[in-house]
Copies of this chain bind each other. A is one copy, B any other.
Amino acid sequence: MNDLAGRLAAIAGADRVAVDAATRRAFGRDALGRGHAPDVVVTPANTADIAAIARLCHDTHTPLVVRGAGTGYTGGSVPIRGGVVVSMARFDRILDIDVDNLLAVVQPNVITGDLHDAVEARGLFYPPDPASLAECAIGGNVAECAGGPRAFKYGTTRRYVLALEAVLPTGEIIRTGSKAVKNVAGYALTDLLVGSEGTLAILTEITVRLIPLPPQRRTLSATYASVEAAARAVSAIVAGGVVPAVLELIDRPSLEAVAAHLGRPMAPPGTEALLLLEVDGHAVAVDDEVGRTAAACESAGATSLIAATTAAERDALWEARRVLSYALRSVAPRKINHDVVVPRGRVPALYALVDAIRRQYDLRIAAFGHAGDGNIHVNLLVDPADGAEMARATAAEHALFSGVVALEGAITGEHGVGFAKAVHLGVQLAPAEIALMARVKHAFDPHGVLNPGKMWDTTAADLAGLDDGGMRR
């Protein structure tokens, strides 16, 4: 055991420290499938040990990367400069569900879906619902400001985080926010830490705001002969004052992949776009709003319209959306998933941009996602063994990001920057803005030990060798 591992063992206990190749390799990847192995993995049991580990890394200028469930898409939880991975595996308890005050206190490694189940059993609702909710952890959701289909009506993770306990890279334990839903004493450090991608502090306890569980939910599906017609339906629904909880759009290439995966068609012939909608809230209001939503869908030229009346029918409507990621993976060896976002009214312009990119760069592209908030997952379906195709994909990425910024959108709406999008951050942010963020980083982390090489800080050397199996050392 090397010196670093020995010092970590002295803090957290020898049985909590691993340096074997298999463990290091496992912690050198997340859902992105790329990264570098850490030198040591430590699994501390309490906040005080994390503070001591942070101080050790600060004093020795050793990279420290925090890992929860490891389901991120941009490499946020994997090292690219070696060092220590702190696994939060032992921080997995729901500490309190306070029904009267509409809040819950959780440790960061609670699985998001488990939090949903626990609060819904008490008649409460935690709206953020990233697609990976069955396996992702709430700490990662906070670190990335996770979204999900319900974000159009309910907002993303930041809107539900009331307070945090966190360890600074310098080893101090801080508390931000409070259990009170209003709090303007000092800067909004809670909101700043949400979405900071593990680069500012190590989250050790999270207090989330809850709302009453909507008593009724109804699901509809409508198909269209063009994306423009589907977008007209969305505009008509919103113009009528209905805010659906879910407003997903799935394009033809995505539907074809699902049809191939399931072995049966998902929509009538000629379908270019499928809308999946859910309306929730007060029971009588939902009945009325479902009717108005269906009318808006039809007036925009729906070629088919289905309203679920049973749970089985609802599950059938959701099936295409649920299997979509798996279906796309079977279409091509690699799926490069970009979660770009534009103002909602510009979704047709975004699809026109994707069409142009598809033709210009001769690529298979499937685009689906959250039409309500303009957050569309643009998937480039490529073969890493085809060097020419990969080069075209790289050029296409630049065109995509430049295009969404020109549409007054953002290069990432849900997944964060990590190291996967770091080279594109300058397309959206000006040098003065990135320099300001780097100064904020320095205010938290003067030695730059916490999750180095991410966001704007990714160098060519960091990225070298990432595709060689994930092991640098």
Q: A residues near B, CB below 8 A?
A: 98-103, 123, 144-145, 147, 151-152, 155-156, 158-159, 168, 172-176, 178-189, 191-192, 194-196, 200, 211-213, 215, 235, 238-239, 241-243, 281-282, 284-285, 288-289, 341-346, 370, 373-375, 408-417, 421, 425, 428-430, 432-434, 436-437, 439-444, 455-456
Contact = CB atoms under 8 A, between A and B. Distances in A.
24 contacts: A100-B345, A101-B345, A144-B184, A155-B159, A156-B182, A173-B432, A175-B433, A178-B410, A180-B341, A180-B408, A181-B341, A182-B373, A182-B410, A183-B413, A184-B412, A185-B410, A185-B411, A186-B434, A186-B437, A186-B456, A187-B200, A191-B192, A284-B285, A439-B444
A439 B196 CA distance: 17
Given A188-B194, A189-B433, A413-B180, A100 B239 contact: yes
Number of copies: 2
A432 to B, nearest CB: 4
A285 to B, nearest CB: 4
Contact of A373 (B155, B181, B238): B181
A212 B194 contact: no
A428 B185 contact: yes
A182 B417 contact: no
Contacts of A189: 433, 436-437, 440
A411 to B, nearest CB: 5
Which of A123, A188, A411, A442 has the most CB atoms of chain B within a 10 A radius of its CB?
A188
A295 to B, nearest CB: 16
Nearest to A172: B432
Contact of A175 (B99, B242, B430): B430
A160 B421 CA distance: 27
The 9 A-B residue pairs with the shortest CB-CB distance in the complex, in nearest-first order: A182-B413, A191-B191, A282-B285, A439-B443, A285-B285, A183-B410, A100-B345, A212-B241, A180-B341
B409 A178 contact: yes
B188 A158 contact: yes
A281 to B, nearest CB: 7
A367 B356 CA distance: 62
Given A212-B243, A285-B285, A444-B436, A192 B188 contact: yes
B195 A184 contact: yes
Nearest to A284: B284
Given A187-B437, A440-B443, A455-B186, A174 B430 contact: yes
A356 B282 CA distance: 42
Contacts of A187: 192, 195-196, 200, 437, 440-441
A215 B440 CA distance: 43
Contacts of A195: 184, 187-188
A196 B184 CA distance: 9
A342 B441 CA distance: 31
Given A100-B235, A174-B432, A212-B238, A413 B184 contact: yes
